[in-house]
Structure 1
């Protein structure tokens, strides 16, 4: 009896409670179609009846070949569709890891998001968003990578991966932005050297990311830092921009200033909501060329019964109705609703915190 080595791949698979599916050669899935085709050729060239030259035999042979050909096409089509479904499942799982579904609630906030991708076969495009609960409050990122669809997916993964780490590690929101900037710069330089190897010392970086960081503390205090992204809207009785200050340049081609302008934008009170979006929402046009009326749509949404899910769905439906179909560019909208007052933990109490790493240079 053979034993499996404790550290082998098979042993790890069994320990995980599953077995690895067997691998088949691609031609195995086409075996029925190939056998059927061989049978048809055998009938045509080996059967004495098929070699007769009278009209009824010709008609019968043609009918047999026609039916056999149709069945062969159906078998091949079914096999290809089965393989395509497997590929779609793998691609969907990979895209879901990059842009994970948001939780319905996060530290007293209700969340909902809707998105469109410019690539019809992709669920993730050049727009990104994420929200995480940290010791510093709920931190949110929303951004837009230059380009659309699958071409921007690598940059989206880089930015989101860096944010998920920095949001917990950096005590200040400016430190999160500097971490994202360093990570993105390394990725763009690496990619530029691969795409333009003739000049590795001076790589040409053409990609950039518009990005907005938001911090919602437990008392509702709102802090933001904006790099070329549309400002969120605050929904209460009306819909107003959260801030009107000029943003920083997008991340990528421009260095961050020594002093980051961190904006204090008041407080998010119970019953109020924030709507974050990418420029694909504002830039969507109808067939006559008119832009999507975002502010009017938000005012209409705020005037009725409000939940984060219904608000996000209503904005999406209004966008589709305006564009008469999905917009031609990547688009995303994120709704944060303060359903009730958020509790502030007592000083020195609450959960145990791990030691914070050294913050980035501000």
Structure 2
């Protein structure tokens, strides 16, 4: 299974090289100032530039020991006798060394205090990230690699900078009624969308086991969402929610699937994109086609569900076939010229030839989306791949 996508290995190696370079920048600055002082005319004063070394160390390495060491080295150079830096002259003013030392001491003190505050903020940020990771595991739980003969892989890419969870949702459960799947998209990206996702997924995790019919599962989701929206309407606005968004305009697109032990697929779709079916052709290449077995119902939230909710019969998931579910962020992704991402051909390329590997499909689409958009996403992207790994016959 693939969880929330992380930075690639090449980018990590580049980051390490950049950090190593920034750690030697303060030392290079000190050496450059000393060489400049030795090679320039004696009436040119560049020793005061040493005061910038502790500040550069604070901004680059962020280590207090480095700040103190560079500050001490700069003080020694500033206090060096004139003959050490100016062998043939005495142009240095009497108080020049004192002024340089005071400047260096001031910068060292400011950098030391600033770095202490920076370290406290970094620790707080690490704690917040740990809390966010725990929230992610609670809302979007890691999926098992296999469930009742179904191989599972998933991926999530948030459009919000620094976020690990957004408005997209998915879950796969093995129940007495078959393997049941949900994928959806709540309106927005902020904390309000995350709360909506938690309400819908919480209801699905109960209803999927309790309700024999897929239509009854959908009705339970609709009731849970309506309760959640009423509570939000009665309560105070929460910090982090998008301002100016009436609760009456909130909605969630939902696609419910049920995979029977024999591969039979049934679905209920409320405003969500239909999935793609991947199967191996006679030549070994993956054949990709979109499932669209029935009309799409309106999203949950603004409109009541109709009295009759017949589940649509889809093409069966044969042994070796894979089903790829996605949110609209994948197909709505655009490049710098405004061209939409073409998901179908990307799935065919990611599947390649031979047996379909769900994890490879997810990773291939992930790389293609990031290449197409240059890493700048306008909406969250969630992908879910299910492969029937039972043997034919």
CA distance in 2 between partners of 1:59 and 1:307 (Å): 65
Please tell me the root mean square deviation across aligned C-alpha atoms, in Å.
Answer: 2.1
CA distance in 2 between partners of 1:317 and 1:65 (Å): 49
CA shift, 1:230, in A, is: 0.4
CA distance in 1 between partners of 2:168 and 2:311 (Å): 23
Give runs of aligned pairs for residues 242-257 of structure 1, distance below 5 A: 242-257=291-306
CA distance in 1 between partners of 2:321 and 2:132 (Å): 37
Residues 293 and 314 in structure 2, CA contact (< 8 A), matched pair in contact too: no
Return the structure number with greater relative CO, CA threshold 8 A, min gap 6.
1
CA shift, 1:84, in A, is: 1.3
Kindly provide the CA deviation profile for residues 221-260 of structure 1, in whole angstroms up to 9, marking residues without a partner as x.
1010000100011111311112242210000011111110
Kindly provide the CA deviation profile for residues 16-65 of structure 1, in whole angstroms up to 9, marking residues without a partner as x.
xxxxxxxxxxxxxxxx9xxx9xxxxxxxxxxxxxxxx9554443333222
Residues 322 and 386 in structure 2, CA contact (< 8 A), matched pair in contact too: yes
1:82 aligned to 123, 135, 149, which one?
Answer: 123
Residues 342 and 208 of structure 1: is their aligned pair in 2 closer, same or farther, counting only changes over 3 Å? farther
CA distance in 1 between partners of 2:348 and 2:132 (Å): 37
Which sections of structure 1, spanning at least 5 residues, go unmatched? 1-31, 37-52, 197-202, 344-362
CA distance in 2 between partners of 1:97 and 1:317 (Å): 27
CA distance in 1 between partners of 2:274 and 2:213 (Å): 20
3-state DSSP class of the match of 1:205? helix
- Count of residues in correspondence between the two structures: 287
Question: TM-score, normalised on structure 1?
Answer: 0.75
Matched, 1:287 2:333: no
CA distance in 2 between partners of 1:232 and 1:149 (Å): 26
CA shift, 1:195, in A, is: 5.2
Matched, 1:232 2:275: yes
Matched, 1:315 2:365: yes
2:227 aligned to 169, 183, 186, which one?
Answer: 186
Residues 277 and 289 in structure 2, CA contact (< 8 A), matched pair in contact too: yes
Name the residue aligned to 2:11. Answer: none
Name the residue aligned to 1:170. Answer: 211
Name the residue aligned to 2:382. Answer: 332
2:251 aligned to 203, 208, 216, which one?
Answer: 208
- Choose between structure 1 and 2: higher helix proportion: 2
2:110 aligned to 51, 59, 69, which one?
Answer: 69
CA shift, 1:301, in A, is: 2.8
Give runs of aligned pairs for residues 65-214 of structure 1, distance below 5 A: 65-194=106-235, 205-214=248-257
